[in-house]
A and B are shown apart, each in its own frame.
Chain A
Amino acid sequence: MDMADRNISTKDVIDQEEVLHPRMVTVEIAGKKHQVPEGIAMLKALWYTGQEVIRGVGCLGGFCGACATYYRTKDDPKVKTCLACQTAVHDGMSFSMMPPFPARKATYDLATLADPKQDLFNLYPEAPLCRNCNACTEACPQKIDVREGVWRAVFGDFKAVSEMFMDCVMCGMCAPVCIADIAPSLVAVYVSRAQGVHFTEKPVRLAQRIKEIEDGRFNDEWARVLKMNEQELTKACAELK
């Protein structure tokens, strides 16, 4: 195809039938039926139906976990979990936002822990009581294998846990389903931080850089740059490669 001849005036429009002819669908929000346009995000459906949302809205980008929501699709008995800012509504859907769950967070001073892998059992004594029901994994809207993560924490594989839970937005949906009262996301934060503080190599180059700055290694260069007038600075900037 000859690109130059491509006619772009009217052709380059993406079909969006849902936008041209929005279909109204019925959804049940916290037990009440509403008509909303199909395909909008659940949070927008809440706004569309006139509801102010303060508890349950945060970053609106799928990262903060504020809008943890339970939902069910038409005729399916399975109650699933999602982030309301990231999930589109369809006909027959029912959903309710998850209220804040009173899970217990242990407090600790990471730097002074003598044996973080053993300390886990003091801080979160419920962690080894997992009965393998897998409900936490099924509840995770980030698709983390939470159950596996809890076991790995218990067996001291902190590195694996820190990698598995990098996607965790701390929505807390793994906690209410746990029959052993474990709050896996809180366990994972402890484990990940302990991994960082106690079991990760100290970056040598960073320590060198901090020392260089303390020792004034860049002082001459600073003096030279800070003396420059705007024209000289512009030139110095332009010369950066």
Chain B
Amino acid sequence: MDIHVLQQIVHETRDARRKQTMPKLSEAERDALIEKYHPDFRESAYRTIKFGPNEGEKTVRELAALLEGDSPVPADLELTPTHTCDVLVVGGGGAGCAAALHAHAQGAKVLFATKLRLGDSNTVMAQGGIQISVTAEDSPVTHFLDTLKGGHMKNDHALLKVMVEEGPSVAQWLLDLGVLFDRDADGNLHVKKGGGSSKPRLLTCSDYTGLEIMRVLKDEVLNQKIQMLEFAAAVELLSDGNGRCTGAVLRDLDNKRFIVVAAKTVVLATGGIGRLHIQGFPTSNHYGATGDGLTMAYRMGAKLMHIDTFQYHPSGAVYPEQLVGALVTEGIRSEGGHLVNAKGERFVNELDTRDVVSSSIIRECEEGRGIRTMAGRVGVWLDTPLLDAEQGPGTIEKHFPAMVMQYDRFGVDISKDPVLIYPTLHYQNGGVQIDTNGESGVANLFVAGEASGGLHGRNRLMGNSLLDLMVYGKRSGLTAAARAKAEPQGKLTLEHLKRFRTEARKHHAADVVSPMLFPAYAKKE
């Protein structure tokens, strides 16, 4: 059927829906819904990890295979360093930039390596905003409790307290660098309410918050003349033979040669795993989101946590086909956009946490109340025109220019027509276990941002990722720089890799090389 005919039900039911309030679910109802429909609970998608620091624990099959995978680095690689530095930062997104800038500001010699270009990351796409408690009716403690609730009470309290308490000073740091957050008429920072939060505390730069932050951080990295190695992917860490991290092996993506880096400390800011397409889900993630940091840290002996839980963002585009997986920002729901099934009904409080909203969309679709496409996809409507109806014509265009442009390129006017959405693989809730300085279980190996775990519990709250990047990027950068001042460079060995390979042989690990670096999209016959 023509899409406009199918969309009629959304237009017809709009006025009736506007009068309706959707109740929030009780704790028990939330748990029941998630356990029945959330992809984290699809047992067949999981398996036990055979060996290593997380032996016996479960994760998704795609990740388990990579964790048990073999390094591309030969055991007899000549380990004469090409580069020597105090702090090696791996990963050119928000956490990497923050770590590099803060370490550099302490006088550390920083080498900043990334497998694509500086800034090519998920950070640049973050549209929803950054959660920081700045208003009188809000407090860091309330932010703490909101996050804990969203994370199903599984968050590491120490990590979380640090994040919410350092939020305001991080906002000041970004302002001092020139980030242009939206303001109220009185000059104060404008705040919006995010899904799962009891108070409005999202700071935004229209719907380009991540882009604005990255433009500024990238520019500052270049101003500071921090040494960059672009198109250089980290593929293995180096150890001193006694469990301390002493550097890394990178691969030059042009000539495929290994680059040996001697570093007193290493910060992994390698992001998440969307491009593994767990359970066949499309993803909102950037091209390089293949969990490289997890596999390297794991081989080195760092324990991972919460790696059985992933965030499926409720509103990934399903139509048109070219936009599949791309995000439709949560901001639309924050501003009152309804989710509507094929019968024209709302079915969830749109501002509940992401896991609850995603589970409810999957329920609607599995129970036959979804709208299908001929490409074999299914979804529900997000009533975008409602925003103009509620707040006046032009609201969508003014508040969501990025969204409008994205759809406009394919001839869809989201201010006039609702969009079809379904959950998309968005975020790795867990990662490498860290302490409040960002240090992993391996001495001198720091992990910041999405690659780290514990902070967000089993479900990250909207707007907490950008804050995580800035706070733990900073702390890991500062601590790594201080450590580098206090300690000499350790020797460079692959002892950890030899041990790992012995284990792998014992467990007959499959013939997989990790990190994956990029998804294999190019069609080869």
Given contacts A142-B405, A167-B402, A218-B139, contact A13 B372 (CB under 8 A): yes
Q: With both chains docked as a complex, state the minimum distance between the C-beta of B422 and any C-beta of chain A, in angstroms.
A: 13
List chain A positions with a Cβ less than 8 A from chain B: 1, 3-4, 6, 8-9, 11-20, 39-41, 44, 46-55, 57-64, 66, 86-88, 105, 107-111, 142-143, 162, 166-170, 189-190, 192-197, 200-207, 209-210, 213, 218, 221-222, 225-226, 230, 233-234, 236-238, 240-241
Chain B residues contacting A64 (CB-CB under 8 Å) are 117, 119-121, 124-125, 286
B327 at the interface (CB under 8 A from A): yes
The listed residue (B1, B225, B522) touching A12 by CB distance below 8 A is B1
A8 to B321, CA, bound (A): 22
Given contacts A167-B405, A206-B189, contact A59 B124 (CB under 8 A): yes
* CB-nearest residue of chain A to B189: A203
B45 at the interface (CB under 8 A from A): no
B188 touches A222 (CB 8 A): no
Q: With both chains docked as a complex, state the minimum distance between the C-beta of B103 and any C-beta of chain A, in angstroms.
A: 18
Given contacts A63-B125, A201-B183, A226-B157, contact A52 B522 (CB under 8 A): yes
B372 touches A12 (CB 8 A): yes
B145 at the interface (CB under 8 A from A): yes
The listed residue (A13, A108, A166) touching B205 by CB distance below 8 A is A166
B409 touches A86 (CB 8 A): yes
Chain B residues contacting A49 (CB-CB under 8 Å) are 523
B208 touches A167 (CB 8 A): yes
B512 at the interface (CB under 8 A from A): no
Given contacts A8-B369, A213-B168, A241-B198, contact A221 B141 (CB under 8 A): yes
B373 touches A47 (CB 8 A): no
Chain B residues contacting A63 (CB-CB under 8 Å) are 124-125, 208, 210-211, 402
A107 touches B6 (CB 8 A): no
Identify which of A4, A57, A63, A167 gathers the most chain B CB atoms within 10 Å of its CB: A63
Q: Per-residue 0/1 for B151-166: is the Cβ within 8 Å of any A Cβ (1 yes, 0 no)?
A: 0010001000100010
Q: With both chains docked as a complex, state the minimum distance between the C-beta of A142 and any C-beta of chain B, in angstroms.
A: 7
Given contacts A201-B183, A218-B139, contact A16 B373 (CB under 8 A): yes
Q: With both chains docked as a complex, state the minimum distance between the C-beta of A232 and any C-beta of chain B, in angstroms.
A: 11
A10 to B375, CA, bound (A): 15
B225 touches A107 (CB 8 A): yes
B231 touches A54 (CB 8 A): yes
Q: Per-residue 0/1 for B188-213: is the Cβ within 8 Å of any A Cβ (1 yes, 0 no)?
A: 11000000001000000110101110
List chain B positions with a Cβ less than 8 A from chain A: 1-3, 6, 9, 12-13, 27, 116-117, 119-122, 124-125, 133-136, 139-142, 144-146, 148-149, 153, 157, 161, 165, 168-169, 171-172, 175-180, 183, 186-189, 198, 205-206, 208, 210-212, 215-216, 218-219, 222-223, 225, 231, 253, 284, 286-287, 319, 321-322, 326-327, 342-345, 368-375, 401-402, 405-406, 409-410, 420, 518, 521-525
Given contacts A206-B172, A234-B153, A240-B146, contact A19 B141 (CB under 8 A): no
Chain A residues contacting B342 (CB-CB under 8 Å) are 6, 8, 12
A13 touches B373 (CB 8 A): yes
B374 touches A209 (CB 8 A): no
Chain B residues contacting A66 (CB-CB under 8 Å) are 116-117, 120
A–B complex contacts, Cβ < 8 Å, 14 sampled: A4-B343, A15-B3, A16-B319, A19-B373, A62-B406, A64-B117, A64-B120, A66-B120, A166-B401, A167-B402, A194-B178, A201-B187, A205-B188, A225-B145
Chain B residues contacting A234 (CB-CB under 8 Å) are 27, 153
Q: With both chains docked as a complex, state the minimum distance between the C-beta of A172 and any C-beta of chain B, in angstroms.
A: 11
Given contacts A3-B345, A167-B401, A196-B180, contact A210 B168 (CB under 8 A): yes
The listed residue (B149, B180, B321) touching A200 by CB distance below 8 A is B180
A108 to B344, CA, bound (A): 55
A60 touches B286 (CB 8 A): yes
Given contacts A142-B405, A189-B215, A230-B153, contact A110 B177 (CB under 8 A): yes
* CB-nearest residue of chain B to A214: B169
B27 touches A47 (CB 8 A): no
